[in-house]
Amino acid sequence: MFYDLSRTLSPRTAVFPGDTPVSVTQNLLLQQGDACNLSSITMSVHAGTHVDAPRHNSDAGLGIDRVPLDALIGLARVVTIAVQDAITLAAVQSLDLTGVARLIVHTRGSDVPNDVFDHDLIYFTPEAAAWLGGQGLRLIGVDTPSVDPASSADLAAHLAFLRHDVLIVENLCLRGVPDGDYEIMALPLRIAESDGAPARVVLRTLAQD
């Protein structure tokens, strides 16, 4: 069984204040006698569910076209963290991360509708991000638009994950997904040298033995 963690992209998709919204243009329409339906889109590469490339926070970092696929596909653990603002060092140290390379964090962010930007989004303290990186994580997934506070200027949690080579997936929706272990497939579009890209992110339940 599959869980689709991707938020639906549409012109109503909420983006960071000031960022480029999603717009869709119909260039050809069957109903108007054209040979097919054909549309184009304009959007921030960080709109909706997406993967941040290391290039997002460092000019020397890899673009999204070069991030390692083996970090984006494989076993993942979904955990619920019931905090109201910051995910602290104590909160992450209480998690069982034995053998976990990909961690998906379920917060109240999953209940925020696609067309609402949550200015009070749940974020990681830099200490929590650094500690998770030190555990050997390859991938962190969150159901919020950022791993840092919406008003952050230094993006300290992004940088802490970057220093530990942890890829960041943002704006997932985990509503209805039970905590536990899954196979994840998180595949960003292969956009040359991009600082990020929209992604379809899917969990597959593990075969019961």
Stretch that binds Zn ion, among 36-44, 48-56, 63-71, 154-162 (CB under 5 A): 48-56
Angstrom distance (rounded) from CA 31 to CA 54: 43
Of positions 5, 14, 43, 46, contacts Zn ion by CB under 5 A: 46
CB of 79 to Zn ion, least distance (A): 21
Measuring CA to CA, how many Å separate 163 from each of 130, 199, 200? 8, 23, 25
Closest to Zn ion by CB, 19 or 127: 19
Stretch that binds Zn ion, among 3-11, 126-134, 148-156, 164-172 (CB under 5 A): 164-172
Of positions 52, 143, 148, 195, contacts Zn ion by CB under 5 A: 52
| Residues touching Zn ion, count (CB under 5 A) | 3
Of residues 153, 149, 154, the one with CA closest to residue 109: 149
Closest to Zn ion by CB, 96 or 140: 140
Q: At what angle are helices 156-163 and 126-134 packed, to 10 degrees?
A: 10
For residue 201, count other CB atoms closer than 10 A to its CB.
Answer: 26
Handedness of CA 166, 15, 48, 191 (dihedral sign): negative
188, 50 in Cβ contact below 8 A? Answer: yes
Per CB under 5 A, 195 contacts Zn ion: no
Residues designated catalytic: 56
Closest to Zn ion by CB, 143 or 170: 170
Per CB under 5 A, 148 contacts Zn ion: no
- Give me the residues that bind Zn ion (CB under 5 A), please: 46, 52, 170
